[in-house]
Amino acid sequence: MTHAYVHGYADREHERLHDQARTLSDLLHHDTHYPEGCTVLEAGCGTGAQTLELAARSPSARFTCVDISAASLAMASRRAAEAGLHNVEFQQADLRTLPFAAGSFDHVFVCFVLEHLADPSGTLRSLLRLLKPGGTLTAIEGDHGSVMFHPEHPAARHAIDCQVRLQARAGGNALIGRTLHPLLQAAGAQRVQVSPRFVYADASRPGWVDGFTRKTFTAMIEGVRDEAIAAGLSSPADFDAGVQALHRTAEADGVFCYTFFKAVAQAS
């Protein structure tokens, strides 16, 4: 899989991903349920942040979860065992050369993976080929261009832009959410339906402020600080001011908004 994961593989990032999954679980997955006995491929499962949510919601489905990183898979397997999940198996594989025959799965699920790929449409074509007739592919992605917050601050915009630019340099696209419909159409999917999932956090929603504004989005931006400075995209002072401005939106009079996009499509 030709991509560089711009957020890195440190323990702090692993925890951020699981905080994010727990916070967003109902928003993203309340309408994702797989029937008894069906087979589901999760492509790019990482450390299992989404796996735990999916497998718990569909305990009678069978999940095959693949990732290129052996270390991530080991962590995912351990977390699944700790959660008492028995309907999941993990397998190391590259999304470019998945070891499955055409028509192997009833459903495919891919979440927060396409944004890191240089050829997301090509990957989607390959995943669609793995579906049985009538099977579905579900894809979920964010879009950093959808960020709105109060108080508005140019330093916060600068720090976010650093992350967007770093991801682009690594071959990905942090603005991919808005493109899911045309990407799936170009890949040959049928009956593509995309629904926006809107995050709104203010003082009346402390769980969202802590779980999303602080622990998901701002933590993600903080995580690329050293890389952004090393790449010459920001000075330390400017980047730190941006992170401080993002934290400011989590205060009592602050507001933070973000949009995720969830697409469901069928194989042709």
Q: Does residue 1 form part of some domain?
A: no
Return the number of other C-beta atoms located less than 10 Å from residue 12's C-beta. Answer: 13
CA distance 202 to 250: 7
Q: Point out which residues pair with 110 in neighbouring strands.
A: 139
Q: Which of 55, 139, 128 is nearest to 90 (CA)?
A: 55
Asked whether residue 4 is domain-assigned, the answer is: no
Q: Which long-range contacts (CB under 8 A, 24 or more apart) does 229-235 make?
A: 231/166, 231/169, 233/162, 233/165, 233/166, 234/158, 234/159, 234/162
- Full-model pTM: 0.92
pLDDT exceeds cutoff 80 at 21: no
| 198-210 mean pLDDT | 97
- 135 half-sphere exposure, CB direction, 13 A CA radius: 21
Backbone angle region of 89, left / alpha / beta, with phi > 0 → left and psi within -120 to 50 → alpha: beta
Report the percent of the chain where pLDDT is more than 70: 94
Assigned domain for 5 exists: no
Confidence grade of residue 188 (pLDDT, cut at 50, 70, 90): very high
SS3 43: strand
CB of 27 within 8 A of CB of 199? yes
Burial annotation 196-205 (CB, 10 A radius, 16+ → b, else e): ebebebbeeb
pLDDT for 17: 61
| Contacts (Cβ under 8 Å, ≥6 apart) of 162 | 221, 224, 228, 233, 234, 239, 242
Domain membership of residue 168 as a residue range: 11-266
Instruction: Give the model's pLDDT for residue 1.
Output: 36
Tell me what pLDDT residue 87 has: 97
Q: What are 84's two structure tokens?
A: 């008492």
In a domain, 179, yes or no: yes
Q: Which amino acid is at 50?
A: Q
Rounded to an integer, what distance in angstroms lies between the CA atom of residue 120 and that of residue 255? 32
pLDDT at 78: 95
Tell me, what's the pLDDT at 2? 39
Query: What letters, b where the CB count within 10 A reaches 16 and e where it falls short, cover 68-94?
Result: bbeebbebbbebbeeeebebbebeebe
Domain assignment of residue 217, yes or no:
yes
Residue 16: band (very low, low, confident or very high) from pLDDT cuts 50, 70, 90: low
Asked if residue 3 is part of any domain, the answer here is: no
CB 28 within 8 A of CB 262: yes
Checking if the pLDDT of 8 tops 50, the result is no
**Has residue 123 been placed in a domain?**
yes
- Domains contained in the chain, number: 1
**What is the predicted pLDDT for the residue at 84?**
96
pLDDT value, residue 51? 95
Residues 26, 32, 34: CA angle, nearest 5 degrees? 140
In a domain, 205, yes or no: yes
Q: Determine the pLDDT at residue 12.
A: 59
In this prediction, residue 7 carries a pLDDT of 45
Q: Give the CATH number for residue 128.
A: 3.40.50.150
Q: How far is CA 252 from the centre of its chain?
A: 28
